[in-house]
């Protein structure tokens, strides 16, 4: 008689199939709205990321400077290298992926020398002060992610929602890029 419950359990697991990618799992759509990020009036800072971990850049930030309409936004990206800040303008284009009905992704170049790259929102906290984004890296199957936070949030403990999803979805070593005193 024990075999029947085991059989039913195995059958249920087999029918369930593989879980969808977190960014395309409908249960997580409410935590993946681009508008929550683009509606912010303050800058977002990259707290940490799990790619390009040998960079000398610190204090990476993005500040919205305009809404161009047609799902396009002007931002200023800024970073500090060897104590000096440099910045450059980028146009970010919002889009939807998978079955999303609202924009959940944005395409832009991370530096002037890089091509435009798709970045999907993986999650955000309820206060909209912390966002985890994954970029489309093409060749690699490793999720390349960064955590973006408002300045106030970046100077405190990482919100649980962002930290838990980042740890699960974004494997590998990470580098902390936010430092006290970063300027946008």
CATH number at 159 reads 2.40.128.20
- Contact present, 103 and 95 (Cβ < 8 Å): yes
Dist CA 27 CA 172 (whole Å) = 25
Counting the structural domains of the chain, the total is: 1
- Whether residue 184 lies inside any domain: the answer is no
Within 8 A by CB and 6+ apart from 114, the residues are none
Q: How confident is the model at residue 7 (pLDDT cuts 50, 70, 90)?
A: very low
pLDDT of residue 15: 44
Structural domain of 70: 20-176
What is the tens place of the pLDDT at every residue in 89-105? Answer: 999 999 999 999 999 99
- Whether residue 84 lies inside any domain: the answer is yes
What is the tens place of the pLDDT at every residue in 20-63? Answer: 789 999 999 999 999 999 999 999 999 999 999 999 999 999 99
- Whether residue 183 lies inside any domain: the answer is no
């Amino acid at each position: 008689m024990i075999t029947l419950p085991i059989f039913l359990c195995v059958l249920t697991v087999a029918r369930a199939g593989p879980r969808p990618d977190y960014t395309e799992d409908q249960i997580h759509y409410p935590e993946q709205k681009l508008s929550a990020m683009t509606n912010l009036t303050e800058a977002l800072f990259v707290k940490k990321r799990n790619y390009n971990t040998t960079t000398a850049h610190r204090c990476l930030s993005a500040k919205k400077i305009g809404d161009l309409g047609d799902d396009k936004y002007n931002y200023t990206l800024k970073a500090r290298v060897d104590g000096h800040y440099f910045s450059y303008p980028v146009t970010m284009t919002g889009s939807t992926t998978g079955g999303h009905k609202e924009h959940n992704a944005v395409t832009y170049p991370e530096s002037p020398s890089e091509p435009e790259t798709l970045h999907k929102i993986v999650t955000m906290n309820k206060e909209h002060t912390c966002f985890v984004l994954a970029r489309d890296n093409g060749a690699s199957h490793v999720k390349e992610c960064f955590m973006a936070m408002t300045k106030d949030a970046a100077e405190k403990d990482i919100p649980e929602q962002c930290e838990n999803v980042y740890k699960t979805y974004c494997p590998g070593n990470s580098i902390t890029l936010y430092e006290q005193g970063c300027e946008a």
